Amino acid sequence: MINLSQKKTLIYIILLLVTLAVYWQVKHLAFVDLDDFVYVSENLNIQSGITPESIVWAFGTKYFGLWNPLVWLSFMADYQFYGLHAGGYHVTNLILHILSTLLLFRLFSTMTGEIWKSAFVAAFFALHPLHVESVAWVSERKDVLSAFFWMLTLCLYVFYTEKQSIKRYLPVVFSFVLALLSKPMVVTLPLVMILLDYWPLKRFENQNRLSDTISWQLREKLPLIVLSAALVVFTLYVPNEQQAFEKSFSVMSRMANAPVAFVTYLVKTFWPHDMAIFYPFPSHIPVWQIIGSVLLIIIMMAAVLATAKRLPHLFVGWFWFIITIAPVIGILQIGDFAMADRYHYLPSIGIGVMLAWGIPHFTKREVLRKYILLPVALVFLASLAFLAWQQCAYWKNSIKIFSHALPATKDNYLAHNNLGLALFTEGKAEDAIAHYNQVIRIRPFDTVPRHNKGVVYTRSGQYRMAIENYNEAIRVNPDDAEAYHAKGNIYLGLGEHQRAVEDLSRAIALRPDNPAIYYNRGTAYIHLAQYQQAIADYSKAVALNPAYFDAYNNRAFIYLKLGRYQQAVGDYSHAIRLKPDYADAYNNRAFVYLLTGNRASGCRDAHQACKLGTCSTMQLAMNQGLCR
């Protein structure tokens, strides 16, 4: 007979191996074209690795109004190990998911002494297919990282409750801070601690009066509650950040969607089907769905409350689910989705607790538990594992995950748009345009698909078609600066420089803070021989972006044409300081030096330019016998 310690060790090993078997394929997955480029693949701050400057940036930046500096730092660490190899980032997500699973088992087995029920809860969390999104999507590092610190905080909290002291309390606070730095959703953790105090820790039983209980709980949880409140205030206050919280849906629409989404999460818990990376916010929700969802929630709430004393595990599990999903149920809308699989990640533990302790309670006979309940539980978990393994394969790349989302949802404009982007990257321009047209059908007010069609037509040389799509974008939104900018660039490439200036001037009037527009208009002015206007635009571009080396190079070219050689050399030198391998700048400065009689400097620059791949000035100098 194996002892208790050996049983626990065996369960740890089984949880580890089964989770690895389901998820190991993530090491072959790619980045997807939704947020991954923001978080990693095109984020130069991440690709600088962990430096004092990047640490300051991590703590000072937000994306979509969310402050999660620890996530940025974890990506920086990954970059130092893996570069831009996506598989490494996925493996880190998987490691965090496994660690959370093992800590979850430890948490409940320590609190309850019930190792098999605790194992079920951990396996339910580890293998549920709705959790694939959190593990297989690199951008959802915030889910798995915050979950790890969530579990660690609770384990430390249980250790603290065994012998209360400041020495044991401080690690709880520190771990909770790390969880908050990973994802704001964990602000509900102090409330979950109170639930666990009720059951299974049963700390309330030592209190005689309600007032004493409230006072004790407030004193003990106050530091954690203050930290949560501070993060909520900081998250909601987002100065000068566009699109932090989506305003496109009315409060009534969000209130109507919330109960329907809540029930949908419950349904998908037991019947995980039609899973998608994005669920569009419905344009219309039938009244019967809203009323039916509200009634079901009320009935379940009443049943749980009525049996709270007799079945505390149901009470704790139910309110774990409610409390943890409340911040993301959609009342405060971030983005334009109705729900998300990743939001099921931590709340699902509450449902797992209800199943693990609730069903055996109603199955009194040992023989039924052994020969019926146990096999059913194993089959249920095996089914979840198979579905999770299957769902994981859909995350192979952008084309697969967005193609999978289309039949799973209705009028999924984001899936059409991002699938179009992925197909265009693969050279399938016609297929991409077909998907952009679907976005226009679903959202005729949206300028993004028209922009994307413009890019496709531009790169395929169909410039007039591209211009027509940008004109359509402008008809939809007369203040579309990027459409004017893109159209102006096309005219610039076609040699229609006056029309380019007109469109770029409109873009500048709408976006006077964009240095690229000034740069492009400056180039158009050069072709129109309007050199003073070109100098003014390049000067504005470098004022807005002091590192704009191309603007310095082009302004130097004008100075050269105007015979202002010293200023030309100054700008070429500035461009070279900004970009030490800038072959054109070396080549052009060499020409100015030779033109002004400075053969030594001219030949040195000409040699350097040629070494970098641009040899025109060197060839000219050699032909004239100026350089060897």
What residue ranges define each of the domains in the chain, with the CATH number in brackets? 4-393 (no CATH), 550-628 (1.25.40.10)
Question: What integer is the mean pLDDT of 298-308?
Answer: 96
**What is residue 207's predicted lDDT score, i.e. its pLDDT?**
66
- For 79, 80, 140, the CA distances from 84, given in Å and listed in that order, are 7, 9, 17
Q: What angle do CA 348, 39, 387 make, to 5 degrees?
A: 35
pLDDT at 325 over 50: yes
pLDDT at 378 over 70: yes
Question: What integer is the mean pLDDT of 562-572?
Answer: 95
How many angstroms from the chain centroid is the CA of residue 352? Answer: 27
Write the CB contacts of 600 (distance below 8 Å, at least 6 apart in sequence): none
Q: What is the pLDDT of residues 441-480, one digit of tens each?
A: 999 999 999 999 999 999 999 999 999 999 999 999 999 9
**What is residue 210's predicted lDDT score, i.e. its pLDDT?**
63
User: In 3D, which of 182, 171, 183, 155 has the Cα closest to residue 224?
Assistant: 171
Which has the higher per-residue pLDDT, 573 or 624?
573
Q: Whole-prediction pTM value?
A: 0.90
Alpha-carbon distance of 561 to 260, in angstroms, equals 68
Write the CB contacts of 176 (distance below 8 Å, at least 6 apart in sequence): 149, 153, 186, 189, 224, 227
Length of the chain in terms of residues written: 628
- The percent of residues above 90 in pLDDT, for the chain, comes to 83
pLDDT at 81 over 70: yes
**What is residue 240's predicted lDDT score, i.e. its pLDDT?**
40
pLDDT at 368 over 70: yes
Other C-beta atoms lying within 10 Å of the C-beta of residue 517: 29
Q: What is the DSSP string of 397-442?
A: SHHHHHHHHHHHSSS-HHHHHHHHHHHHHTT-HHHHHHHHHHHHHH
User: In 3D, which of 150, 156, 232 has the Cα closest to residue 192?
Assistant: 150
Q: What is the pLDDT of residues 91-144, one digit of tens each?
A: 999 999 999 999 999 999 999 999 999 999 999 999 999 999 999 999 999 999
**What is residue 62's predicted lDDT score, i.e. its pLDDT?**
83
pLDDT band at 561 (very low <50, low <70, confident <90, very high): very high
Alpha-carbon distance of 408 to 276, in angstroms, equals 6
Helix (H, G, I), strand (E, B) or coil at 239: coil
**What is residue 242's predicted lDDT score, i.e. its pLDDT?**
40
Q: Is 404 exposed, middle or buried (0-12, 13-18, 19+ CB in 10 A)?
A: buried
Helix (H, G, I), strand (E, B) or coil at 66: strand
pLDDT at 341 over 50: yes
DSSP state of 41: I
- Looking at the chain, the number of H-run helices and the number of E-run strands are 31, 2
Other C-beta atoms lying within 10 Å of the C-beta of residue 137: 27
